[in-house]
């Protein structure tokens, strides 16, 4: 802590004097306290011996008892006065010696001035006498220095000239872009020449300039590498196209060789990719490319792309000790380019050219990488190319899976498959694994089959729309042979007929459908080519795709055709005939596939064709539609019925609507005579369809007539209406007994109207006593009459009789007979109700 205030200023002012006389004690004051005097002495000792700051000492003064400061200042003034007296005594003691010394110094000054003058004069005369010697000596020194400098200069120049020559050579190499030689020159300059003359400035400039030149060479070589990478990105399409064309030619050529070898036409070795020389003149005529193309020089990636920038840049970075940087940069850029190459165009799936360009770019990329792998040591490694290929393969499969799903044209899918095969064969030739691509082809095959099925669905629909659904007329034998050549039809009875024209039972759609199924098999077979699959696998693929065509596409088209509203009964009958013949032709389709694949259908794992079930289902659907349409037509006639339910007597003839209905049924069932009735397992249904349709129509007619009588909206019926209704039912029974469809045994068809007949007989005969007496017995005459049905109709007849009696004002005797009948009806009604209640309980 530094002193401050008036005390500090006083201390600084008197410090010098206090320290001079610090050793001289102040005489004690007799009047002061001895303890206080001792304290002040210790404080003065500290002030005179200790350097600033004096904070601690001064604080002790203020911390004492009151008025300590005043007493301290008094003591300090007394001590200062004491020191002043001591100083004055000392000065008085030494004053005489100081005066004597000054007097002696004044005496010596005169002699010194005289000596100085003599020395100056002597020096002047000596300088004048030595001027000529000095001049000659300086000339000699200058000459000798020049001679020495010249000798040194020559020696140094002899050391510098090689350096300058090497540097000039370096400049020339840089200007001529001989960068690798320039780097060697730089290395010689640094290690041999520049160290000899490193002390010179120009050499230092050279040495400082060499790293910059190296960086320039690196930048230039890197720029050349970037240009190369850009160039191969643009030319990879051409490289890939060339490689794929060569692979395709090689594959086609080997196929031709194998085919001729299997035929025994090739007895000499042939040309192959192994590099061996073989004879191939015998095969040129059968090869898929012409002689000029076959003789064309086989180009490689090195022929199409200048790889010198890569080699040069690799050597430069290797010399500069930065090879790892170059390798990392090259691999990083190629990975980026690989991602760009693998990115497809949005509309690639629209044309085959889009796929071809995509494959060409990818093949070109990996052909270049394969060349770099084998032409350089370590720039890329097999592990790096495998990593790139695995990444690319996953992306390619994803792209093809996505874009192929957009393809709706089977021809485009087939061309895509051929491109994938060539693409896989090309890269397989360069050592890349492609098994996943062939696995992808199975997915593409499913897509191809789907597009084929869609295409053939349109074909089938068009065939069905253009068909007239009538038997095929043949006017001449040539026409007959044409039809038989297109469809395996055999009918011994028809063949025995010598006269023309003839009619074949099926319509024009049958041979067309059969031909289109064969065309589908051919189209499906095209995809199986070049897939490296066995005949068994190809056979299985063909059968499965054909099954899909039959069970899904053709079956769906047939079902839709059957459900169309404009298809009538005649067309449905013809459809049944057509499906029967198509079903019989399935075995010929089996033989057709067997002839293609040479795989016997008896093989254990051979897939069977499911055409039989397809055509059976279609036939059953057509039969059901026949029954439905026939019943609908009956309902239309029934709706025309216009009974006068209150008539007194019948007209004596059947209703007009019913006669029209019966005539319609007769003409309709005549159509069923066209159904096939051959003695085989598939045609035994001919009579059954007609019989079932006839029985169904009669049952439906009987049910409809019964419902008409029992309609809840019909409240009353006269006996005259019952008689008229009976005439109509008689006509129905006559129709059933006329055997509209052959094959019914006895009165089987008439049994369809047995319920109506017994009900009407009960009312016509009015035989209620017999009905009630025999009810429940197996031998009852009215066994088919239900009490509830009889009750409902009787109540309507009763209401009709009551209404008639009210309207007719006749004699009382007649009214009495009428009342008796009404009482009888009331009695029967009560008994019928008891029967109905007994049945319900």
Report the percentage of the chain scoring pLDDT > 70: 83
198/784 Cα distance (integer angstroms): 137
Structural contact between residues 76 and 47, judged by C-beta atoms closer than 8 angstroms: no
The more confident residue out of 209 and 699 is: 699
Cis peptide before 594 (omega within 30 of 0): no
Residues 6+ positions from 367 with CB-CB distance below 8 Å: 239, 240, 243, 301, 430
Q: What is the mean pLDDT of residues 38-59?
A: 70
Per-residue pLDDT band at 702 (split at 50, 70, 90): very high
DSSP 553: I
Task: Say which DSSP state 288 is in.
Answer: S
The tens digit of pLDDT for each residue in 242-266 reads 888 888 787 777 766 765 665 554 3
Which of 56-70, 103-117, 637-651, 745-759 is predicted with the least confidence, judged by mean pLDDT? 56-70
The string of DSSP codes covering 159-224 is: HHHHHHHHHHHHHHHHHTT-HHHHHHHHHHIIIIIGGGGTTSHHHHHHHHHHHHHHHHHHHHHHHH
Q: Quickly tell me which residue has 């039989």 as its tokens.
A: 612
Q: What is the mean pLDDT of residues 345-357?
A: 84
Q: Give the span between the Cα atoms of 509 and 476, in whole angstroms.
A: 20
pLDDT at 607: 62
pLDDT value for 16: 43
162/203 Cα distance (integer angstroms): 12
- The mean per-residue pLDDT over the stretch 44-67 comes to 67
Is residue 323 a contact partner of residue 317, using CB atoms and an 8 Å limit? yes
Lowest mean pLDDT among 207-216, 509-518, 649-658: 207-216
- Which pLDDT value is given to residue 51? 62
Model confidence pLDDT, tens digit, residues 219-228: 888 888 888 8
What per-residue confidence (pLDDT) applies to 141? 92
Find how far residue 458's CA is from the centre of its chain: 29
pLDDT band for position 462 (cuts 50, 70, 90): very high
Contact 301, 239 (CB under 8 A): yes
Q: Show the 3-state SS of 454-495.
A: HHHHHHHHHHHHHCCCCCEEECCHHHHHHHHHHCCCCCHHHH
Q: Using a cut of 0.85, tell me whether the model's pTM lies above it.
A: no
pLDDT over 90 for what percent of the chain? 5
Give the residue-averaged pLDDT of 105-128: 85
329 contact partners, CB below 8 Å, separation of at least 6: 222, 225
Residue bearing the bigger pLDDT, 665 or 255: 665
Mean predicted confidence (pLDDT) in 64-88: 80
Poorest-confidence range of 407-416, 534-543, 800-809?
800-809
Whether residue 26 contacts residue 37, with contact meaning beta carbons closer than 8 Å, is answered with: no
Q: What is the pLDDT of residues 287-339, one digit of tens each?
A: 333 444 444 455 665 677 788 888 888 888 888 788 888 888 888 888 888 88
Chain CA centroid to CA 426, Å: 24
Q: What is the mean pLDDT of residues 497-512?
A: 83
| Mean predicted lDDT score pLDDT of the chain | 79
Task: Kindly report, residue by residue over 262-282, the tens digit of the pLDDT.
Answer: 555 433 333 333 333 333 333
Read off the DSSP letter of residue 90.
Answer: H
Positive or negative: CA dihedral 408, 412, 417, 423: negative
Task: Please determine, for residue 540, whether its predicted confidence score (pLDDT) is greater than 60.
Answer: yes
What letters, b where the CB count within 10 A reaches 16 and e where it falls short, cover 174-205? beeeebbebbebbeebeeebbeebeeeeebee
Q: Which of 288-297, 385-394, 773-782 is the least confident region?
A: 288-297
User: What pLDDT, on a 0 to 100 scale, did the predictor assign at position 818?
Assistant: 63
Strands (E), 628-775: none
504 backbone dihedrals φ, ψ, rounded to 5°? -85, 145
**512-532: pLDDT as tens digits:** 989 999 999 888 888 887 776
pLDDT digits (tens, 9 = 90+) for 621-636: 888 888 888 888 899 9
Q: Pick the closest to residue 447 from 406, 479, 477 (CA basis).
A: 406
What is the pLDDT at residue 115? 85
* Nearest residue to 762 via CA among 732, 785, 728: 785
Lowest mean pLDDT among 31-40, 444-453, 460-469: 31-40
3-state secondary structure 747-811: CCHHHHHHHHHHHHHHHHHCCHHHHHHHCCCCCCCCCCCCHHHHHHHHHHHHHHHHHHHHHCCCC
CB 651 within 8 A of CB 726: no
Q: What is the pLDDT of residue 659?
A: 92
Confidence of residue 52 (pLDDT cuts 50, 70, 90): low
With vertex at residue 206, the alpha carbon angle to CA 205 and CA 210, rounded to the nearest 5 degrees, is: 120
Which ranges in 63-178 belong to alpha helices (H)? 68-129, 131-175
Least confident of 150-159, 300-309, 802-811: 802-811
Give the pLDDT of residue 459. 92
DSSP-derived letter for residue 25 is: P
Q: Which two tokens stand for residue 144?
A: 């000798």
């Amino acid at each position: 802590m530094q002193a401050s205030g008036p005390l500090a200023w006083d201390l600084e002012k008197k410090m010098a004097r206090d320290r001079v006389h610090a050793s001289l004690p102040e005489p004690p004051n007799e009047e002061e306290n001895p303890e206080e005097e001792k304290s002040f002495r210790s404080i003065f000792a500290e002030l005179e011996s200790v350097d600033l700051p004096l904070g601690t000492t001064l604080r002790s003064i203020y911390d004492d008892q009151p008025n300590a400061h005043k007493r301290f200042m008094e003591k300090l003034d007394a001590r200062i006065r004491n020191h002043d007296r001591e100083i004055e005594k000392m000065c008085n003691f030494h004053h005489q010696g100081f005066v004597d010394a000054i007097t002696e110094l004044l005496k010596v000054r005169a002699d010194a001035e005289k000596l100085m003058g003599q020395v100056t004069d002597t020096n002047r005369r000596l300088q004048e006498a030595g001027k000529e010697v000095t001049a000659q000596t300086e000339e000699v020194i200058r000459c000798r220095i020049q001679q020495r400098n010249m000798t040194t200069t020559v020696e140094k120049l002899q050391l510098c000239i090689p350096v300058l020559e090497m540097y000039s050579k370096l400049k020339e190499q840089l200007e001529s872009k001989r960068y690798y030689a320039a780097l060697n020159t730089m290395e010689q300059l640094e290690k041999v020449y520049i160290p000899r003359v490193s002390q010179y400035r120009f050499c230092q400039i050279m040495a400082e300039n060499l790293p910059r030149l190296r960086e320039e060479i690196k930048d230039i070589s890197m720029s050349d590498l970037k240009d190369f990478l850009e160039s191969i990105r643009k030319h990879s399409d051409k490289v890939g196209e060339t490689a794929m064309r060569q692979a395709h030619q090689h594959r086609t050529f080997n196929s031709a060789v194998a085919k001729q070898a299997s035929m025994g036409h090739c007895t000499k070795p042939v040309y192959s990719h192994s590099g061996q020389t073989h004879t191939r003149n015998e095969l040129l005529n059968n090869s898929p490319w012409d002689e000029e193309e076959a003789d064309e020089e086989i180009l490689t990636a090195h022929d199409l792309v200048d790889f010198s920038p890569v080699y040069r840049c690799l050597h430069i970075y290797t010399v500069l000790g930065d090879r790892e940087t170059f390798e990392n940069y090259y691999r990083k850029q190629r990975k980026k380019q690989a991602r760009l190459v693998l990115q497809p165009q949005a509309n690639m799936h629209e044309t085959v050219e889009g796929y071809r360009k995509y494959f060409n770019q990818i093949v070109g990329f990996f052909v270049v990488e394969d060349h770099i792998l084998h032409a350089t040591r370590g720039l890329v490694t097999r592990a790096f190319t495998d990593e790139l290929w695995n990444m690319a393969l996953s992306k390619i499969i994803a792209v093809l899976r996505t874009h192929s799903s957009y393809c709706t044209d089977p021809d485009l899918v087939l061309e895509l498959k051929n491109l994938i095969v060539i693409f896989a064969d090309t890269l397989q030739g360069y050592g890349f694994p492609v098994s996943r691509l062939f696995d992808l082809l199975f997915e593409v095959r499913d897509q191809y089959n789907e597009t084929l099925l869609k295409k053939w669905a349109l074909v089938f629909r068009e065939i069905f729309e253009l068909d007239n659904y009538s038997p095929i007329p043949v006017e001449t034998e040539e026409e007959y042979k044409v039809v038989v050549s297109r469809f395996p039809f055999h009918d011994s009875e028809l063949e025995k007929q010598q006269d023309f024209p003839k009619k074949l039972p099926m319509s024009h759609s049958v041979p067309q459908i059969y031909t289109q199924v064969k065309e589908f098999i051919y189209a499906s077979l095209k995809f199986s080519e070049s897939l490296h699959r066995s005949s068994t696998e190809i056979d299985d693929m063909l059968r499965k795709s054909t099954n899909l065509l039959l069970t899904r596409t053709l079956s769906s088209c047939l079902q839709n055709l059957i459900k169309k509203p404009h298809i009538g009964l005649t067309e449905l009958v013809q459809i049944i005939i057509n499906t029967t013949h198509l079903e019989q032709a399935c075995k010929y389709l089996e033989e057709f596939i067997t002839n293609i694949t040479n795989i016997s259908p008896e093989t254990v794992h051979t897939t069977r064709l499911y055409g039989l079930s397809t055509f059976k289902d279609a036939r059953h659907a057509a039969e059901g539609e026949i029954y439905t349409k026939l019943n609908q037509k009956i309902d239309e006639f029934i709706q025309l019925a216009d009974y006068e339910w209150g008539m007194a007597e019948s007209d004596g003839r059947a209703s007009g609507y019913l006669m029209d209905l019966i005539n319609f049924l007769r003409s309709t069932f005549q159509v069923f005579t066209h159904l096939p009735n051959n003695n085989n397992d598939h045609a035994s249904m001919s009579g059954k369809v007609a019989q079932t349709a006839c029985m169904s129509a009669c049952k439906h007619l009987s049910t409809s007539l019964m419902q008409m009588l029992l309609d809840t909206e019909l409240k009353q019926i006269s006996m005259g209406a019952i008689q008229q209704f009976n005439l109509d039912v008689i006509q129905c029974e006559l129709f059933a007994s006329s055997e509209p469809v052959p094959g019914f045994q006895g009165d089987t068809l008439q049994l369809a109207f047995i319920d109506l007949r017994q009900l009407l007989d009960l009312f016509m005969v009015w035989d209620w006593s017999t009905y009630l007496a025999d009810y429940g017995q197996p031998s009852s005459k009215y066994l088919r009459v239900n009490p509830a049905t009889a009750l409902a109709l009787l109540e309507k007849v009763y209401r009709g009789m009551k209404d008639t009696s009210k309207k007719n004002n006749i004699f009382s005797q007649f009214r009495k007979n009428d009342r008796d009948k009404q009482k009888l009806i009331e009695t029967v009604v009560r008994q019928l109700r008891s029967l109905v209640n007994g049945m319900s309980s």
